[in-house]
Every structure is written in C-alpha cells, then in structure tokens.
C-alpha cells in the first residue's frame, strides 16, 4: 500500500513539474514570436487609432510585463480559469471542451488502426522474411516513414474526395446543417479520411519494429528447440512469440502519442477538421497566449497519460517486471 501511495505521489509531482516547465517554455516562445497580437486582433490593414490599440492592449492585458502576465494567468489557472481566447472570444475551457472530444476521437481511431495493422504486418513480414510480401511491406514502411503527414493528407484528399468523391472534402459535419440535425453516420463519414491518414503515418514504425523482433525470436534457441519437436512456425509465434514482442510494440505505440498529436495538427488543418490541432494553428497565427497555453497543457497531459498507461500495462502483460509485486 505504501509503495502504491509513494508511486502515485511521485507520478503526480512529476506531472506537475512537467506541466509547469511546458507552460513556461510555451509562454516564452509565444511572447518571442514576431506576430503582434494587437495587429492580429484588429487586422493588420485596419485603420484603428493608437488610442484604440492601447484600449485593446489594456483590455487583453497585453500592455503588462511578461512576468506579470504569466503569473496572472497562473493564478487564474489555479482557480480553474484558463483565460479567454483572443481568437474565438470565448473562455479557453469552453473551446478545449468542444474541440477535445473531436481530436481525441480522431487520434484514438488512428492510434488503434495503426497499432493493429502495424503489429499484424510486422508479424507476417517477419515470419515470411525474404519473401515478396516481406519486401513489399518493408518498401511501404520506408516510403511512409519518410513522407510528411500533410503530403499524405493532400494525396488522400485529392484521390478519395475530389477524384472519386467517396468522402467529403473537409469539416466534421455537412455544411449548412444544424448540429442537432447531424446524424452519427454523417459524423463517421467525415471522420474516416482524416483517421485513415493519421493511421497510415503511424503504421511504419510499429511494423518495422515488430518485424525485427519476430525475426530475433524465431532465431532464438528455445524456438529452435521447439521446431525440433515438430511445432510449425505459426504455432511457435502464437505460443512463444506474441508475449515477447508485445511489450516492445506497446512501448513504441504508447510512445507515439506525441507524434500522433503533432500529426493530428497537420491532418486537421488539411481536412479543416475542427479539433485542437486547427485551434492551435489559429491561436499561433494570432498570438493567442491563453489558448496556446491551454492546448499545450492538454497535449502534455495526453502524452503523460499515454506513457503512464504503458507502464501499467507492462506489469499486466509480463508479471516478471512488476515492481515490488505490484502492477506499478
């Protein structure tokens, strides 16, 4: 019980330090940006007077020293207030709440698809090492791993939306419909193409890693001994290989949370999908400090929970690596 409490406290402290560090670095990067938030707010070509610009700066607190602005934001955050977005003229918590579900749904589907297909392709490729299938999988993975996400997204958009017309060009719901009138099928239809794009970019790493692991397992002494007893290759993989390659694959898949979040920013912008990624781009272009800090904290929590989940799963999949006899 003491070990569990100690681990929980250590994890909480680590998360708080991480959030504090990311918020400070994000704030410094935003205020160092050449984008003037007042110009972004009123428009660079507008003819507002200097007095009106000063009024805007005073209203949003932009005329205060950076240190005071940061601690003002921090004190409000402690009270549950993440500030008001300059871009959307709404509370940051309200924007995060409406966008978070769309982004998490998109990333969860892409993460599951990339993990499942990458793992299966890796096993089959490794088991058939040197075959035509193995060469095709390796070539596909090498090409995809060196291809930018936004380029794949543009190709998918041009092929499946513009040329074939199978999927909508963008957005998460049909244009001109009220939110209450949108059906679940229409939402899924708009979600498929961005999710497929994100999943394709995540397949290569897990497939190549799993392929190499299964090759190593098949060359091990205990597999050679099992072969001598007459067991076939696929039975050996099912009985002795899956557990040995599952933990490295899970580690890699959970470690890809940060890449997944970064990829979703690009995919959401290409498909005009209203998630956290598109909100982050809009906030960055307008120097929207409260919204950017809110999204940065959300992304840190997302990645932190992913890594923590991986640590907990290790003990479930392989009891030999449990610490102190617990799952922690």
Q: Is residue 302 part of a domain?
A: yes
Say whether pLDDT at 43 is over 70: no
74 in a structural domain: no
2-6, 64-68, 233-237: range with lowest mean pLDDT = 2-6
Report d(CA 33, CA 197) in Å as an integer.
Answer: 31
Helix axes of 66-78 and 2-31: crossing angle, nearest 10 degrees: 140
What CA–CA distance (Å, rounded) separates 311 from 40? 43
Task: Give dist(CA 152, CA 164) in Å, integer.
Answer: 16
**Is residue 248, in this structure, part of any structural domain at all?**
yes
Length of the chain: 328
Separation between Cα atoms, residue 82 and residue 70, nearest integer Å: 12
Better pLDDT: 80 or 136:
136
Top-confidence residue, 38 or 140: 140
Q: Which residue matches tokens 């409490």?
A: 5
Could you tell me if residue 220 is inside a domain?
Answer: yes
Quick: pLDDT tens for 118-160. 889 988 888 888 889 989 988 988 888 888 888 888 888 888 8
Tokens found for residue 241: 């290989």
> Does pLDDT of 248 surpass 70?
yes
Q: Do the domain assignments include residue 133?
A: yes
Looking at per-residue pLDDT, the higher value among 139 and 307 belongs to 139
What confidence score (pLDDT) does residue 195 get? 87
Q: Is residue 298 part of a domain?
A: yes
pLDDT band at 328 (very low <50, low <70, confident <90, very high): very low
| Closest C-alpha among 206, 198, 207, 197 to residue 133 | 207
Task: Find the range with the poorest average confidence among 15-19, 98-102, 171-175.
Answer: 171-175
Does residue 59 belong to any structural domain of this protein?
A: no
Domain that holds residue 153: 91-323
Instruction: Look at residue 243 and tell me whether its pLDDT is greater than 60.
Output: yes
d(CA 206, CA 211): 8
- List the one residue out of 142, 163, 172 whose CA is nearest residue 273: 172
Element (H, E) at 92: helix 92-127
In this prediction, residue 296 carries a pLDDT of 85
Q: What is the CATH number of the domain that holds 121?
A: 1.10.3720.10
pLDDT above 90 covers what percent of the chain?
1
pLDDT, average across residues 204-212: 87
Determine, yes or no, domain membership for 49.
no
How many structural domains are present in the chain?
Answer: 1
pTM listed for this prediction: 0.74
């Amino acid at each position: 019980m003491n070990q569990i409490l100690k681990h929980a406290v250590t994890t909480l402290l680590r998360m708080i330090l991480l959030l504090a560090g990311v918020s400070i670095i994000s704030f410094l990067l935003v205020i160092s940006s050449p984008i003037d938030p007042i110009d972004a707010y009123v428009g660079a070509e507008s003819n507002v007077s200097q007095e009106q610009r000063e009024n805007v700066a005073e209203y949003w607190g932009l005329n205060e020293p950076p240190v005071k602005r940061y601690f003002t934001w921090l004190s409000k955050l402690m009270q549950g207030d993440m500030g008001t977005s300059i871009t959307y003229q709404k509370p940051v918590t309200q924007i995060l709440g409406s966008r978070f579900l769309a982004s998490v749904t998109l990333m969860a589907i892409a993460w599951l698809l990339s993990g499942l297909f990458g793992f299966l392709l890796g096993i089959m490729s490794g088991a058939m090492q040197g075959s035509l299938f193995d060469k095709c999988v390796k070539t596909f993975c090498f090409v995809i791993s060196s291809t930018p996400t936004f380029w794949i997204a543009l190709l998918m958009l041009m092929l499946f939306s513009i040329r074939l017309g199978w999927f909508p060009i963008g957005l998460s719901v049909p244009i001109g419909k009220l939110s209450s009138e949108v059906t679940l099928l229409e939402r899924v239809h708009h979600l498929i193409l961005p999710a497929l794009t994100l999943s394709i970019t995540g397949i290569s790493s897990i497939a190549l890693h799993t392929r190499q692991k299964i090759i190593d397992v098949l060359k091990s002494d205990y597999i050679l001994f099992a072969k001598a007893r007459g067991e076939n290759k696929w039975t050996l993989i099912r009985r002795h290989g899956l557990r040995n390659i599952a933990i490295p694959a899970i580690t890699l898949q959970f470690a890809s949370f940060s890449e997944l979040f970064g990829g979703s920013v690009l995919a959401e912008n290409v498909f005009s999908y209203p998630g956290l990624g598109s909100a982050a781009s809009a906030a960055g272009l307008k120097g929207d400090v409260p919204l950017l800090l809110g999204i940065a904290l959300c992304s840190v929590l997302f990645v932190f929970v992913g890594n923590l989940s991986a640590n907990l799963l290790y003990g479930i999949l392989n009891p030999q690596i449990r610490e102190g006899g617990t799952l922690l």
